[in-house]
Amino acid sequence: MEFIDPALLAYCEDHTSQEDDLLKKITRETQAKVLMPRMISGHLQGKLLELFVKMLRPKTILEIGTYTGYSGLCMARGLAENGKLITLDINDELEKMVRGFFDESGLSDQIDYRLGNALEIIPTLEGPFDLVFIDADKINYANYYDLVIDKMSTGGIILADNVLWSGKVLPEGRKKLDKDTAAILDFNRMVQDDPRVENSLLPIRDGIMMARKL
């Protein structure tokens, strides 16, 4: 997932505002207790999300894919006064851990954590959303995008994680074209061709697609 020299990555981390104790705890417990801990947003991406939200000051954020709550907590810290983060995840096995982290943050009143199938939940949400962060199953990235695009406020931002997919978006980066890679390629192409947005693919960590609703 990392595309730069490890020494340069360490330099970047050393020159990024440090994680506080709670974020370090989330990272530590994710690595110790959860399968595939590399899915956590982590230090650099988490701080980027936090700073980005602090600049945007959204009233309503939708996160598709809570995992252990690291990215959600980072974004919740930048909410406008009386703002709300709605975060969706299908894995109820992590619920106790995640709710504990949110309670410990002191921001649980602004975090609406819902368990279930996002494809079923999103149509029930009214919006408008000022920011949407997609970081769930790759097969449904295009479906999630289709469900939220008309619920975005004008100027609202959609961020989608893992759009470089460990380099597999390039033919030389993969041995075969699997379903997840094909889904990411289709998603990136769809956003690029969508006249409703302006977009930039950022080569940060595993790639973040940023699309702004026109």
Domain CATH code at residue 14: 3.40.50.150
Closest CA to 86 of 132, 40, 123, 47: 132
Domain that holds residue 115: 6-213
Grade residue 35 by pLDDT with cuts at 50, 70 and 90.
confident
Pairing assessment for the beta strands 197-202 and 111-115 based on DSSP bridges: unpaired
Token couple for 153 = 């406020």
List pLDDT tens digits, range 172-181.
Answer: 888 889 999 9
Whether 197 maps to a domain, the answer reads yes
List pLDDT tens digits, range 141-170.
Answer: 999 999 999 999 999 999 999 999 999 999
Whether 57 maps to a domain, the answer reads yes
Residue 53, pLDDT above cutoff 80: yes
Q: Which pTM does this prediction carry? A: 0.95
Whether 163 maps to a domain, the answer reads yes
Whether 81 maps to a domain, the answer reads yes
Find the helix packing angle between 179-192 and 141-149, rounded to 10°. 30
| Domains contained in the chain, number | 1
